[in-house]
Amino acid sequence: MTVQELPGAAAYRPTPPPAWKPLTDPAPLLPDPEPYRVLGTDAVADVDPELLLRLYTELVRGRRYNAQATALTKQGRLAVYPSSTGQEACEIAAALVLEERDWLFPSYRDTLAAVARGLDPVEALTLLRGDRHTGYDPREHRIAPLCTPLATQLPHAVGLAHAARLKGDDVVALAMVGDGGTSEGDFHEALNFAAVWRAPVVFLVQNNGFAISVPLAKQTAAPSLAHKAVGYGMPGRLVDGNDAAAVHQVLGEAVARARSGGGPTLVEAVTYRMDAHTNADDATRYRVDSEVEAWRAHDPIRLLERELTGRGLLGDDGIEEARVAAERMAAALRERMNADPVLDPMDLFAHVYVEQTTQLREQAARLRVELEAEQGRHGHNDLEEGR
């Protein structure tokens, strides 16, 4: 029986709900409809020419690094290499915008950002060569291990930034993820935690068009990936990912905002992956040449080169100088990568726990016996002897 059917009841007037208001005003969080650009616009006049030249040199070096690393896969020196050619502006800006005390949380494609931050080019490749998972001490460079599972490093960045703030350090964490990674649960949870805690984190999504073979339209129905920010209560910024000056500026503002206690920002850099997903992938199965060619006209190095040469800041000598420096880096990388790494198999048991368990000690003893037998020495079985 409904209220209306009650005999003699007055017309039912529901009690109004308690006053409701949004927790956050959504308007300032929304990204602009077009990706922000600097090169080729009036905004470029405000950019320090030294910064533009620095970005140029690093971009040229980065592209050469990608080419060299890809070549190393063909020689069998690397198990795999996910090239970031075409995305160098995002990689380099991410590295250059951070202070020494800040932390970078790269994904598996972000070797270039780690190298631009000062990591040894060989140490950055040990994961992909297959000798060690992380060839460097994360604390030394404040670079988290290159992360292979998608988006799982994002909550780490939030936790680290949160911990730094609790300790009173003005440290910012910059976490990098691809367009595919934004579909993962950890992306959502990281952004949510960051916004609730107002953690000093910047999330950089490199939207390079494809998650291996799946295009963005099959990845999300959102207006843009930057629009996702508003749902978490943080600003979303859309930037031309091939415009190094624009990416540097947008990330710089986001980092400054985080450092001053303003909380996290989600930056979507719209870019394009010129190479296949990795050397093992065949991109012709899922994209057409005309699309690749259209992006080639918007190449991040060409954009910067045109700006610098047009203003007389860069001449043929400067271009040649950057090329030669990149070539030197590649030659040194090639030479060092052509040396076989020396590995100690007993290290397999060294870093599982602080102290080896008895089970691991037994297994280590077993391996030692096998190694001694392999080396043709007179092997005796430690395990049997111990019984």
Q: By CB under 8 A, name the binding residues for other proteins.
A: 132-134, 137-139, 144-145, 149, 152, 154-164, 166-167, 173, 185-186, 189-190, 192-193, 196, 347, 350-354, 357-359
Q: 197, 274 in Cβ contact below 8 A?
A: no
d(CA 67, CA 342): 25
Q: Are strands 214-215 and 210-211 parallel, antiparallel or unpaired?
A: antiparallel
- Whose CA is closest to 245, among 176, 144, 313? 313
Nearer to other proteins, 315 or 345 (CB): 345
- Give the E-state strand segments of the chain in sequence order: 103-105, 173-178, 201-207, 210-211, 214-215, 236-240, 265-270
336 catalytic per annotation: no
Which H, E and C letters describe 128-143, residue by residue?
HHCCCCCCCCHHHHCE
Most distant CA atoms of the chain, gap in Å: 104
For other proteins, the closer CB: 2 or 359:
359
CB of 252 to other proteins, least distance (A): 23
Q: Give me the catalytic one of 129, 248, 257, 273.
A: 273
Q: Cβ of residue 138: shortest distance to other proteins, in angstroms? A: 5
Query: Minimal distance in Å, beta carbon 201 to other proteins?
Result: 9
Q: Which is nearer to other proteins, 44 or 158 (CB)?
A: 158
Catalytic residue among 54, 198, 286, 323: 286
**Least distance (Å) from other proteins to the CB of residue 173?**
8
DSSP state of 36: B
Residue 116 or 164: the one with the smaller Cβ distance to other proteins is: 164
CB of 92 to other proteins, least distance (A): 24
286 noted as active-site residue: yes
Q: Is 206 helix (H, G, I), strand (E, B) or coil?
A: strand
Q: 334 an active-site residue?
A: no
Determine the 3-state secondary structure of 83 from DSSP: coil
Q: Which is nearer to other proteins, 75 or 357 (CB)?
A: 357
Which of the residues are catalytic?
273, 277, 286
